Structure 1
Amino acid sequence: MREKIRTVFEELWAEQEEGPAPALADDTVLLETGLDSLGFAIFVARLDEELGFDPFSAAEEAYYPQTFGEFVAFYEKHAGRSAAAE
């Protein structure tokens, strides 16, 4: 899951920005990656296409991960729920 998320981020970065994508460590603050709010919306939409689910829509309560590690954990948590619902 982590590598798929990283790959989609890097692909989006290459389309929207110049230069290499920033390194994504667990403690990387998402707001400091260089993507703006529209970029993150596109990122989440692309992950929905790639993974087949959107954890932000599936979550019972609003959740806003602040770091890359929290973002990945949120997707991993909901990946199990998505597979169980199928």
Structure 2
Amino acid sequence: MPCALRRMFAIIIVFCECTNIRALWDKHFEDMADDYVRNHGNTPIVVQLVLRDIADIVRSMGKDIKNYGFPELDVSAANYLHLSSKNYV
């Protein structure tokens, strides 16, 4: 379900006139991150993983997550965790 919530969140920020995206993020972050927290613990990298997923979905809709006031996406941190989970690192 967290994956579906991240997709719905991306759809809302792209297609709806949400006046306070940050409040929406704060309210639903834990639910959107539940699968990552379960697998990786409650670490700062979880924020990056959720942001990466949402950024990918937003990009698939022709938009850029930078336009919505989110924290900077640390691609290297998210990529490292992704590679290490596949035992490449």
Please, what TM-score do these two structures have when normalized by structure 2? 0.37
Structure with greater helix percent: 2
Please, what TM-score do these two structures have when normalized by structure 1? 0.38
